[in-house]
Amino acid sequence: MGPFQTPTPPPPHRAGPPPATTLRSVPGVTDVVVADLDAARAAALADTLGVRAAADIEEMYADGLDGVVITAATSAHAPLIHQALDAGVPVFCEKPVALDVPGTVGVVERARAGTVPVQIGFQRRFDAGYRAAREALRSGELGWLHTLRACTSDRTPPPAGYLPTSGGLFRDCSIHDFDILRWLTGREVVSVYAQGANRGASFFADGDDVDTCAALLRFDDDTLATVTATRYNGAGHDVRLEVCGSEGARFVGLDDRAPLPSAETQLSWRRAADPYATFMERFHDAYVTELGVFAEVAAGRTPSPCSPAEALEALYVAEACERSRRTGEPVAVADVRAPVVAPGV
């Protein structure tokens, strides 16, 4: 199978491990080609990675593709997805689908009207810990859920230039938690109450964003969840989930590299390695697995494990949280939902 496109991201940008590097190790992928609006940058990356470069995106499509992997800035996601669908090429795109609901709805409706598969990159669905917690919950081992606690804490903030295209902390960061909570529980969020704060660099407030946030979510079965995020977690990159039920619990992210320095003097375990510094380290294996699954999607052997419509559902929760942060009031997710799109399609 091959080749694949990987539009390279214009700096500043935050993405997972270089997809071109990962794709070379995916079984069945025989050729990788890199394309970018900046041909020189694409050529330099291709030379570094030992893959091919196209002079431009049009030339890349003319070469014949089995699949497209998009890792450009968020503002370019929707146009590039539409371009791949125009060409009839299966496409993988990092989250989010677009910066706003209308742009995302446009992709959802376009994908729903055709037969070309689209996979959105929520890599936590492929993390071994999250998958094990989901299995324990779905099997009934944990009983009924009463509380979920999720956190996503960056060790260091992104550059200031990243903020204008990020969509803000809820849409850029916490959206991973919103997606994984829906995926794990199989339930929908019906209302949120969210707050945000700025304790760090002034460019967050100057960009009308926050560097720390907290949200209380209520699901349609009355399960409660808390979701927190920050750009400043000096202990290390911390991504965890507590799944608490009437008969048991599962805690995702409690491995030897979890940045959890204890205040207790008596501790039966000790961290055996340096704490995670970035999300690339924390989710390396998940990124690799995710692209391996996309190769199967592109080959027509499996359906997309995360459609644009599912990504839209997570975005609705993020939009509700952002509205709640700004108004100081609880927000029903139905109030931000676009009524023309059927959930889960």
Structure tokens at 137: 């919950």
pLDDT of residue 165: 83
For residue 270, name the pLDDT band (cuts at 50, 70, 90): low
Q: Tell me the C-alpha distance between 169 and 191, whole Å.
A: 18
Among candidate residues 315, 11, 8, 290, the one with its CA nearest the CA of residue 172 = 315
Among candidate residues 243, 244, 174, the one with its CA nearest the CA of residue 211 = 174
* 191-225 pLDDT, tens digit each: 999 999 999 999 999 999 999 999 999 999 999 99
In angstroms, the first-to-last Cα distance of the chain is 28
DSSP symbols for 213-280? EEEEEEETTS-EEEEEEES--TT--EEEEEEEESS-EEEET-STT-------S--S----SPPP-SHH
Whether the bond into 19 is cis, omega within 30 of 0: no
State the pTM of this model. Answer: 0.92
Among candidate residues 310, 304, 311, the one with its CA nearest the CA of residue 290 = 304
Amino acid at 177: D
Structure tokens at 33: 């080609």
Q: Tell me the C-alpha distance between 245 and 320, whole Å.
A: 26
Whether the bond into 12 is cis, omega within 30 of 0: yes
* 43-95 pLDDT, tens digit each: 998 898 888 899 888 888 988 899 999 988 888 999 999 999 999 999 999 99
For residue 13, name the pLDDT band (cuts at 50, 70, 90): very low
